[in-house]
Structure 1
Amino acid sequence: MYAAQAIALLVLAYLLLRLYRDYSGGRLDWQSGISWAILILVFVVVAIFPIQVSQAVKDLLGLGRGLDALFVVSIGLLFFIVFDLYLKIDRTEREITELTRKVAIELEEINERLKALEEKVKVEERH
């Protein structure tokens, strides 16, 4: 085993441990937990059998070299992750906008009630 493989396996073990802690702590839902666990396990397989995996991917994609195949797959995977993050950020922005609207409407209603109460108090003070 090469030093790079050992380092990769240590990093991946740390990521699995952190994933477990985040899931146990409720900071991660089960769908994301499973997705990340599968991705990390795929990287474990690649770290243990880099040449065999690159050759299999190369043969599957019809590319000339195994390393090219791993780069193509990595770029595709990164594109998927970025797209997923984009969707989550867009959803969060929409939720923030909706919450801001609700808070603004409720604040306006509270201000109107306060004005009505102030006017009522002023009228009562005159009598």
Structure 2
Amino acid sequence: MIIAKAIATFFATLVIVKVYDEFRHGRENIIMLFFWLATWSTVLTLAFLPGITFWLRENIFGPDTGLGTIFGIGLIFLLFISYRLYIKADRAERKINKIVTELALKDLDKD
């Protein structure tokens, strides 16, 4: 369980620092900042207070299957990968918009 906590803490810290840096430099909006802060705060809460997941699982899904930790670690990796993909796609979109705007302005100047 200590390994799961360490992995969750590492990735949560990494994402929170990166998303704050993106926000600070104007490459991220405040809604996405709060979304990722809430998401990774929830991940940390569940990693350090696993009793919440046991309670939810027993009340929603029934008895323990024993794979919760493995699936939890997998979820952490998936969330981290989805964050990185979102950032890369957003940057590509911004670059494309900038290039299109510059080309349109050049065409306008030629006319």
Q: TM-score range by the shorter chain?
A: 0.5 to 0.7
Q: Which residue of 2 aligns with 1:37?
A: 37
Q: Highest relative contact order (Cα 8 Å, sep 6+), 1 or 2?
A: 2
Q: Which deviates the most, 53-62 or 18-27? A: 53-62
State how far apart, in whole Å, the 2-side matches of 1:18 and 1:48 are: 22
In structure 1, stretches of 5+ residues that fail to align are 114-127
Report the TM-score when normalising by structure 2: 0.55
Question: Residue 34 of structure 2 aligns to a residue in which SS?
Answer: helix
Amino acid at match of 1:59: E
Deviation at 1:10, TM superposition (A): 1.8
Aligned residues: 91
Report % sequence identity: 17
Structure number with larger C-alpha Rg? 1
Residue number in structure 2 paired with 1:117: none
Provide runs of 4+ in structure 1 moved above 3 Å.
Answer: none
Instruction: Measure, in 2, the Cα distance between the counterparts of 1:63 and 1:6.
Output: 28
> Could you tell me the TM-score, scaled by structure 1's length?
0.50
Q: CA RMSD in A?
A: 3.8
Task: Give the equivalent residue in structure 1 for 2:53.
Answer: 54
After TM superposition, the structure 1 stretch with the greater mean CA deviation from structure 2, 2-11 or 29-38, is 2-11
